[in-house]
Amino acid sequence: MNTLPDPSVTAVQAALEREVALVNEAITLVATGGAPRVVVAGLLLGEQILPSVQRMADDAGVRLVPRWGADEAGVEIVVERIAP
């Protein structure tokens, strides 16, 4: 029985974690007033992480706007301050 993890599964998990971390950092930056708006571009797994980062954004009081490219190969997520 092979108990080693599948390298492709491990790579996808690492990419998911990396993209969540990038968006989470952008959420923190906007929520703390460091920037009014941040665009996190080049996300290959953005659609898959959107539900979890949306919850983070809701908790932080910022808005997420996903924008798909013309080729739909990836997504960028815009993090914006919500006007008071």
Band the pLDDT of 51: cuts 50, 70, 90: very high
> What mean pLDDT comes out for the span 49-56?
95
25-48 per-residue burial string, b: 16 or more CB within 10 A, e: under 16 = ebbebbbeeeeeebebeebebbee
What pTM was computed for the model? 0.86
Enclosing H/E stretch for 77: strand 75-81
Mean pLDDT, rounded, for 12-36: 96
What tokens were used for 18?
């990396």
**Residue 78, pLDDT above cutoff 70:** yes
Q: How far is CA 15 from the centre of its chain?
A: 11
